[in-house]
Structure 1
């Protein structure tokens, strides 16, 4: 059980850890987004080759600032709301953890929709022609531009699929990790050992990848599309099935594993280390 005081410290510990993991895994995340948002069937190898040809090795840092800005806001909300929810009740049942994680992810996913949308669009600009590129100077410039064209309805278009994605991501990463961490901690093999944190985060990353990839694919296609290309996320799903079949929902699954599993692993190892260094309670606390 973690410490009950200084809840805000856990917010920032989570935000620092998750944002650091985002920065480190950004090149893989960029490739993943370009594979999954592309209307054509492309491989990660094709995307890597195209980035190198157009931008060189530094192309893999494209839109890093935007991704970091979005991740900071998203992480603070997810970890903050989850920690507050966990402390509101003493229940340690997985169902309760999953419910709190789903609620925190839903709220965070909805709130960061404009930032998420602009991040996707700025990342996909790297392989677009000059005529197709949206040329946003920053995420805030993109949000303002979108608001001027269609008001809040345009800014928060894709909010539903973004919220669902946030919900599943939080259940997979937060609730599953916490549950596995406690299970491993009670075993003789992993008790009082960093292996419990490592194994819990590794499995949580894999579970998250499996449950989130179909939603992630739909979200990326919808966010990158022009205003009249799709009416809703359901329209995206129908088109995806027609063009690629049901396997289309898991396009880019390999590169998703390469990004989400290491990101989850880095997030929690760094998170637990921060908690340990600043005496917030850690994975070795009873």
Structure 2
């Protein structure tokens, strides 16, 4: 009898894979990923905004390092972190919070519901993160300008304040339509597709909820997100970095890009995937590790 009692008192091992993420884990995971992938994001912006003779990714990297040193690859990092802690934290918070409310009996959400939820979360996060995104693009592109034309924002908060002070609240949300549209597609590609791919592979029984599965699902989601968003990303970057009055609207920007053929909408596609792929992978790896180690157990 005593042996039975001892066995009954042994606590059950906690299944960390069943833990639920807290609402802010997605923002922290995205910020961690941004610290690693920021140089690739900076080079992508430079490739998309270059005029005249086009150069490749490696040549652009060499040019930046020669001009501003190795730390030049991290120009605008504070704005990138500010963007992730506004844009990504918002979209992850909405997606994860609403999903918990809709999935109370353990039944997975249908894929179409994940797409709709991700689209709404992305639109909200994209709009909310537009000011930080605008400052991010400007700070990354600043080193390409002549010294007398540089904006020289000290950091993200300084940039946000100066844009509001000198250009007004409306300009702070310049490019919001394009940023929001892009955020819808990238969030569908990342969150909804990652969620669905992970659900499917775990149901097969051949893969467990571990680091390898997180990597496999996230790199696939990153490829889908890049495919969906690249044309919008090119136009968003052009609009945000345009001089006042350069474009009368998105259609004018699209026509300007299309002058050089449809592939203009995919300029920087490879560096975009090289950046978005690792960014997606690292975001979900950080997110999943936070969930499994610091999340809470479902009731």
The question of whether the paired residues in 2 share the 8 Å contact of 1:50 and 1:127 is answered with no
Work out which of the residue numbers 82, 87, 97 in structure 1 matches 2:100: 87
Work out which of the residue numbers 165, 171, 182 in structure 2 matches 1:154: 171
Change (3 A) 1:222 1:132: same
Residue 174 in structure 1 maps to residue 191 in structure 2: yes
* Map of 1:263 onto structure 2: 279
1:120-158 per-position Cα deviation (integer Å, ceiling 9, x unaligned): 011100121113212222333333333334432222221
**What TM-score do the two structures reach when normalised by structure 1?**
0.90
Work out which of the residue numbers 117, 127, 136 in structure 2 matches 1:110: 127
Partners of 2:112 and 2:169 in 1: how far apart?
35
Work out which of the residue numbers 221, 242, 253 in structure 1 matches 2:238: 221
Partners of 1:180 and 1:280 in 2: how far apart?
23
Residue 12 in structure 1 maps to residue 24 in structure 2: yes
The question of whether the paired residues in 2 share the 8 Å contact of 1:113 and 1:159 is answered with yes
SS in 1 for 2:82: helix
Q: Quote the offset at 1:163 in angstroms.
A: 0.4
SS in 2 for 1:229: coil
The question of whether the paired residues in 1 share the 8 Å contact of 2:19 and 2:292 is answered with no
Residue 36 in structure 1 maps to residue 45 in structure 2: no
**What TM-score do the two structures reach when normalised by structure 2?**
0.87
Runs of 4+ in structure 1 over 6 Å off: none
* Map of 1:21 onto structure 2: 33
Work out which of the residue numbers 230, 235, 250 in structure 1 matches 2:252: 235
Q: Quote the offset at 1:279 in angstroms.
A: 4.4
SS in 1 for 2:204: coil
Listed as ranges, the gaps of 5+ residues in structure 1 are none
* Deviation larger for 10-19 or 213-222: 10-19
* Map of 1:68 onto structure 2: 81
The question of whether the paired residues in 2 share the 8 Å contact of 1:12 and 1:76 is answered with yes
Work out which of the residue numbers 50, 56, 80 in structure 1 matches 2:69: 56
1:13-32 per-position Cα deviation (integer Å, ceiling 9, x unaligned): 21111110110111111111
Listed as ranges, the gaps of 5+ residues in structure 2 are 1-16
